[in-house]
Amino acid sequence: MGIFSAVTSALHKIFSAFSKVSQWVLFILTMIVFYDVVLRYVFNNPTIWALEISEYMLVFLGFFMAADIQAKKRHIKMDFFYSVFPQAVRSCLDALFHMGTAGFSLLLLWSSMKMTITAYRYDSLSNSLLETPLFIPYSIIPLAMLMLLLQSIIDLVEDISHMKVHKKEGSQ
């Protein structure tokens, strides 16, 4: 399991780095919205770019934090029901959850990758004055889903190893 531990550690460093980037993105997003509100309501001169950039930043925040939240086990779960089960059953439930997350991530990775490639191939631009090449914001989703898929696989491997330990303890 030496390679697995090294890969897991490297991925967690990447997820942590994206978490720190996300904090800065949130700060910059706050400043952009504040700037736009002041220009719009105080000076009656709104920006042409703030709304679109804010939307892309929100997508970044929403998707890129998923893998880090998964790695830190901070997703919402029903602890009241979850804690009733013995540890062996909880490990099985965790494995089912992580398989579902991996399947969802793979499905979203596949479809968003097709969408991103199509936007790149046809030079799709946003319908705003910025005319942002759409493959750039679209690429946020497949990259984030790849990270979530990798974290789900890591969690699934850990769940299987926990189930093996519980099986050995139960047979002794």
Q: Between 87-121 and 140-171, two packed helices, what is the crossing angle to 10 degrees?
A: 160
CA torsion through residues 21, 54, 27, 65, sign: negative
pTM for this model (two decimals): 0.84
What's the chain's average pLDDT?
A: 88
Spatial distance between the Cα atoms of 101 and 77, rounded to a whole number of angstroms? 13
Tens digits of residue pLDDT in 98-147: 999 999 999 999 999 999 999 999 999 999 888 999 999 999 999 999 99
- 164 pLDDT above the threshold of 80: no
**Alpha carbon 162 to chain centroid, angstroms:** 25
